[in-house]
Chains A and B, each alone.
Chain A
Amino acid sequence: MKINPWASPLLIGAVALIFCSTLRAKEVQLLNVSYDPTREFYQDYNRAFTKYWKEKTGETVTVRQSHGGSGKQARSVIDGLEADVVTLALAYDIDAIAERGKLLGVKWQTQFPRNSAPYTSTIVFLVRKGNPKGVQDWDDLVKPGVSVITPNPKTSGGARWNYLAAWGFALKKYGNDAQKAKEFVRQLYKNVPVLDSGARGAMTTFAQRGIGDVFISWENEAYLASAELGKDKFEMVVPALSILAEPPVAVVEKVAQRHGTETVAKAYLEYLYSLEGQKIAAKHYYRPREKGAWASSPVSFAELKLFTVEEFGGWQKAHNTHFSDGGIFDQIYKP
Chain B
Amino acid sequence: MTESRFIRYLLLSVALLFLGLFLFVPLATVFTRALEKGGDVYWEAIRNPDTWSAIRLTVLASVIAVLLNLIFGVAAAWAIAKFDFIGKNILISLIDLPFAVSPVVSGLIYVLLFGLQGVWGPWLLEHNIKIIFAVPGIVLATTFVTFPFVARELIPLLQAQGTEEEEAAVVLGANGWQTFWKVTLPNMKWGLLYGLILTNARAMGEFGAVSVVSGHIRGETNTIPLHVEILYNEYNYAAAFAVASLLAALALVTLAIKSYVEWKSEL
Q: Is the CB of A229 within 8 A of B235?
A: yes
Closest Cβ–Cβ distance, residue A142 to chain B (whole Å): 30
- A65 CB contacts on chain B under 8 angstroms: 217-218
Complex CA distance for A228 and B233, rounded to whole angstroms: 12
**Given contacts A78-B117, A79-B116, is CB(A67)–CB(B230) below 8 Å?**
yes
B216 in contact with A67 (CB, 8 Å): yes
* Distance of A151 from chain B, by nearest CB (Å): 13
* In the assembled complex, B84 has its CB within 8 A of some CB on chain A: no
CB interface residues, A 195-248, toward B, < 8 Å: 200, 204, 224-225, 228-229
For the complex, count residues of A whose C-beta is within 8 A of B. Answer: 33
Bound Cα distance A266, B78 (Å): 57
B185 at the interface (CB under 8 A from A): yes
**A81 contacts B215, C-beta separation under 8 Å:** yes
Shortest C-beta distance, B81 to chain A (Å), equals: 19
Number of A-B residue pairs with CB-CB distance less than 8 Å in the complex they form: 80
A71-89 at interface with B (beta carbon < 8 Å): 76, 78-82
A79-B216 contact, Cβ under 8 Å, with A1-B186, A12-B67: no
Quick check: is A263 within 8 A (CB to CB) of the other chain?
no
Q: A67-B230, A80-B125 are in contact. Are A19 and B135 (CB under 8 A)?
A: yes
Beyond A15-B64, A39-B234, is A23–B135 a contact (Cβ under 8 Å)? yes
How far apart sit A228 and B238, CA to CA, in the bound complex (Å)? 12
Instruction: State the CA gap A3–B188 with chains docked (Å).
Output: 13
Contacts of B235 in A (CB 8 A): 224-225, 228-229
Contact check: which of A31, A64, A79 meets B118 at CB < 8 Å?
A79
A76 to B133, CA, bound (A): 8
Q: Which residues of A contact B133 (CB under 8 A)?
A: 76, 79-82
> Contacts A66-B215, A66-B216 given: A79-B135 contact, CB under 8 Å?
no
Residues of B in contact with A, size category: 20 to 34
Q: Does B220 contact A (CB under 8 A)?
A: yes
B59 nearest CB across to chain A (Å): 9
Closest to B63 in A: A15
Interfacial chain B residues near A253, Cβ < 8 Å: none
CA distance A18 to B55 in the complex (A): 13
Residue of B nearest to A23 (CB): B135
Interface membership of chain B positions 89-115, coded 1 if the CB is closer than 8 angstroms to chain A and 0 otherwise:
000000000000000000000010011
Chain B residue at minimum C-beta to C-beta distance from A65: B218
Interface string of B43-77 (1 = CB under 8 A from A): 00000000000001100100110010001000000
Most chain-B CB neighbours within 10 Å: which of A36, A76, A229? Answer: A76
Asked if A80 contacts B115 (CB within 8 A), the reply is: yes
* CB of A40 within 8 Å of the partner chain: yes
Quote the shortest CB–CB distance from A168 to chain B (angstroms): 29
Q: Is B67's CB under 8 angstroms from A66's CB? A: no
Is A101 an interface residue when CB atoms closer than 8 A count as contact? yes
User: Secondary structure of the A side of the interface?
Assistant: helix
A64-B218 contact given A79-B111, A79-B118, CB 8 Å threshold: yes
List chain A residues, Cβ under 8 A from B216. 66-68
B109 to chain A, nearest CB (A): 13
Chain B residues contacting A78 (CB-CB under 8 Å) are 116-117
When chains A and B are docked, how far (Å) is the Cα of A18 from the Cα of B185? 29
Give min CB distance, A71 to chain B, whole Å. 14
- A1 near B185: Cβ-Cβ < 8 Å: yes
Residue of B64, B116, B181, B186 touching A80 (CB-CB under 8 A): B116
Does B189 lie within 8 Å of A200, measured CB to CB?
Answer: no
Interface string of A31-70 (1 = CB under 8 A from B): 1000010011000000000000000000000001111100
Bound complex: CA A291 to CA B63 (Å) = 54
- Inside 8 A of A228's CB, which chain B residues have their CB? 235
**A302 interface contact, C-beta 8 A:** no
Extra A-B contacts (14), CB below 8 Å, given A64-B220, A79-B115, A80-B118 = A18-B56, A22-B57, A22-B60, A31-B217, A36-B233, A66-B216, A76-B215, A79-B117, A80-B114, A80-B116, A81-B133, A81-B215, A101-B116, A224-B235
Q: Enumerate chain B interface residues (CB-CB to A < 8 A).
A: 56-57, 60, 63-64, 67, 71, 111, 114-118, 121, 125, 130, 132-133, 135, 181, 185-186, 189, 215-220, 230, 232-235
